[in-house]
């Protein structure tokens, strides 16, 4: 689907603000029940809402979608955060006491000056905006989430990388006292992901600090995570503690663990199946049935030029 910039969107395509705000309240209740019947929560009911802080937005993002937003409790009650658990529903309870303050973030590698500062200080340097993005999991389910954050390209500029920087690497917190999932050798810890510099500087790439109008619940990766909407969700490192600029391609967590299943690029490509399931279709949380998977998750008009001349079956 073509992503429209604000001047190109017709008024008829924009949800009225009052309706959108009412929907935010509604999705915290009855709407979530339909989605959770698919997730296996129909008997126990949806998880309790975590108290959150509303975030002040400087503007609505240029890149957004008219798709129906996924219920809040579905998007926050069914998550992948393996540092806590491989169970998608267990993380809500396991992460409820996750401490995210203070939160030192280090900026390292091929930069003019290495830095270490608290996440709150870093986030305060950038105006926040909301973007409604498709989010596609490699396990063939998807959501539509209103993320809050700032362009990753602005963070890259702030870090002042040198001319040697060709990639940027993101490392997630590894705290065995808080994160029981680290006891299992599911992945080579700490969790590391990476992007080429042109991917990181693409206008769609977002450093996320909140969702659905407020701060992120613990199970969704606060205080900072990245969202790259044309890639599979595992590319979005959560609870980031280190940003490192490198000359060589980073060795990322899933690619190191199972290189035959997970490539570095992780672009949504329905023509390349996972060895254990098809990627040609997906289950949109809250909907009945399945829908065809769209190349680059529907963002092809914006990002396909990044991969001109590349064999996307080989560089998956």
Domains of the chain: 6-307 (3.90.420.10)
Q: How far is CA 197 from the centre of its chain?
A: 18
pTM, full prediction: 0.85
Nearest to 124 by CA among 158, 91, 97, 100: 158
Distance separating alpha carbons of residues 297 and 267, to the nearest angstrom: 8
Distance separating alpha carbons of residues 284 and 136, to the nearest angstrom: 9
Q: How far is CA 61 from the centre of its chain?
A: 16
Whole-number pLDDT of residue 39: 46
Determine the 3-state secondary structure of 173 from DSSP.
coil
252, 128 in Cβ contact below 8 A? no
Query: Encoding tokens for residue 40?
Result: 């296996």
32, 46 in Cβ contact below 8 A? yes
Residue with tokens 């700490």: 190
Whole-number pLDDT of residue 7: 30
Query: Encoding tokens for residue 120?
Result: 């709150």
Helices (H) and strands (E) in the chain, counts: 9, 13
Whole-number pLDDT of residue 62: 72
Query: Encoding tokens for residue 118?
Result: 């608290």
Whole-number pLDDT of residue 41: 43
Query: Encoding tokens for residue 293?
Result: 């998977």
Cis bond before residue 102 (omega within 30° of 0): yes
Whole-number pLDDT of residue 313: 92
Distance separating alpha carbons of residues 302 and 161, to the nearest angstrom: 24
The CA–CA distances, whole Å, from 258 to 75, 154, 261, 263 equal 27, 32, 5, 9
Nearest to 254 by CA among 198, 190, 207, 204: 190
In angstroms and rounded to an integer, the radius of gyration of the C-alpha atoms of the chain is 19
Query: Beta strands 141-151 and 115-118: pairing type?
Result: unpaired
Segments of the chain scoring below 70 in pLDDT: 1-50
Residue with tokens 């049935």: 289
Whole-number pLDDT of residue 48: 59
Nearest to 138 by CA among 91, 80, 97, 191: 80
Distance separating alpha carbons of residues 259 and 273, to the nearest angstrom: 14
For residue 53, list its beta bridge partners. none
Query: Encoding tokens for residue 25?
Result: 């309240």
């Amino acid at each position: 689907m073509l992503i429209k910039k604000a001047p190109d969107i017709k008024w008829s395509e924009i949800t009225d603000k009052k309706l959108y705000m009412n929907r935010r309240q509604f999705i915290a209740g009855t709407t979530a029940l339909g989605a959770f019947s698919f997730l296996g929560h129909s008997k126990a009911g949806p998880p309790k809402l975590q108290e959150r802080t509303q975030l002040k937005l400087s503007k609505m993002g240029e890149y957004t979608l008219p798709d129906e937003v996924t219920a809040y409790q579905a998007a926050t009650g069914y998550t992948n955060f393996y540092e806590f658990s491989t169970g998608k529903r267990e993380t809500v309870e396991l992460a409820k006491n996750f401490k995210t303050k203070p939160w030192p973030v280090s900026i390292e590698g091929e930069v003019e000056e290495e830095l270490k500062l608290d996440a709150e200080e870093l986030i305060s340097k950038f105006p926040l905006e909301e973007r409604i993005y498709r989010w596609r999991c490699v396990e063939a389910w998807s959501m539509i989430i209103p993320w809050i954050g700032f362009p990753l390209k602005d963070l890259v500029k702030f870090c002042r990388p040198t001319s040697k920087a060709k990639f940027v690497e993101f490392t997630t917190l590894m705290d065995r006292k808080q994160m029981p999932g680290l006891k299992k050798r599911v992945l080579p810890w700490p969790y590391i992901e990476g992007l080429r510099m042109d991917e990181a500087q693409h206008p769609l790439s977002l450093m996320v600090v909140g969702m659905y109008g407020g701060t992120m619940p613990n199970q969704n990766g606060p205080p900072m995570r990245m969202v790259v909407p044309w890639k599979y969700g595992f590319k979005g490192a959560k609870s980031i503690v280190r940003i490192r600029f490198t000359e060589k391609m980073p060795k990322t967590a899933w690619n190191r663990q199972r290189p035959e299943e997970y490539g570095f690029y992780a672009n949504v490509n329905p023509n390349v199946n996972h060895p254990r399931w098809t990627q040609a279709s997906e289950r949109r949380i809250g909907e009945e049935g399945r829908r065809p998977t769209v190349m680059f998750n529907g963002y092809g008009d914006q990002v396909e030029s990044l991969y001109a001349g590349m064999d996307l079956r080989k560089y998956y």
